[in-house]
Amino acid sequence: MVHILIPDNLDKAGLNILNATSGVTIQAAPKMSREEVLAAIPNADALIIRSATKVDAAMMDAAPKLKIIGRAGVGVDNVDLAAATERNIPVMNAPDGNTIATAELAMGLMLSLARHIPQAHGSLVAGNWDRKSFTGIELRKKTLGIVGFGRVGRAVAKRALAFEMTVIAYDPFVSAETGAALGVEMATLDDLYARADFITLHALVTGDNYRMINAESIAKMKKGVRLVNAARGTLIDDAALAQAIKDGKVAGAAVDVYEEEPPPANHPLIGLPGVIDTPHLGASTIEAQDEVALQIVATVLDALFKGEYKNVVNIDVLTKLAKSR
């Protein structure tokens, strides 16, 4: 019998499979506090989380039976990967489930920036009939720069091309030939900054690109550029972007992710004219929640019962596990 702890709100589709699986017991809740997780985790063979639960070394030390950490989603920023690797615990994610939801949100944010949709709605609700203040621009014939050309970046490119945009992308791990096959020109980062009318971020955060959107990089961009971030809050220096919007260098920004979530009340981009803020909605569709739940449950069960490890992000642990057998 294996016991799986689920301290975040995993979709019912995943819970139904676990409840129907012989040899499995679960403890699940919409939201557990850290104290509640620490009290429950000593009995857990596997842990399935979303973004709310922070899994650090201390939590792993409290879990002597823990064999698997599953993240129902893509990002694993909330897991101490080094600590997991040291303890021979594979950390697995669900990389495909959120792709379309996040790409569609990025397109929605881009359209909202181009046409001032949230601001126009707010104005009308307030009793105004003001059309002139909300004159926008078309996406057609504009250049979109995509930073990070993985699953989500490519899904955004496909949709942007349907809007008759010119799409360029930066990703050091993607060849020019791969981009060309998808109708996208691969560019250097500086070239992308210089040419793009819209820039959308779809990169993971590494030591090299932490706060990559900063005063120095913004200075390389076209005047009137519009930025979309539905990837990671730590890709942006919020204060620098806020200042660039106030100065008129950046025409607008749409932000779905924040360095600290929920963001503090004095966050420089929240409430700033020209900025659209949403509360981390990238994966918030019915379809995406079903898909990530089904994918991570299948992955965790395969690891526990078949010894098959898929979508492991701390890949070095697989070598250590193989040597220990």
Is residue 262 within 8 A of residue 42, CB to CB? The reply is no
Q: Which residues pair with 48 in a beta bridge?
A: 70
Residue among 258, 214, 207 nearest 234 (CA): 258
**Span between the terminal Cα atoms of the chain, in Å:** 21
Distance, CA of 111 to CA of 108 (rounded, Å): 5
Is residue 249 within 8 A of residue 226, CB to CB? The reply is no
Which residues, 6 or more positions from 116, have their beta carbon under 8 angstroms from its beta carbon? 133, 134, 136
Residue among 62, 120, 111, 109 nearest 87 (CA): 62
Is residue 223 within 8 A of residue 167, CB to CB? The reply is no
Q: Is the peptide bond before 262 cis (omega within 30 degrees of 0)?
A: yes
Three-state secondary-structure class, residue 224: coil
Distance, CA of 309 to CA of 301 (rounded, Å): 10
Three-state secondary-structure class, residue 155: helix
Residue among 157, 65, 88 nearest 309 (CA): 88
Catalogue the active-site residues: 232, 261, 280
Distance, CA of 4 to CA of 121 (rounded, Å): 45
Give the up-direction half-sphere exposure of residue 43: CA atoms within 13 A in the CB hemisphere.
13
Give the up-direction half-sphere exposure of residue 186: CA atoms within 13 A in the CB hemisphere.
16
Phi and psi at residue 233, to the nearest 5°: -65, -30
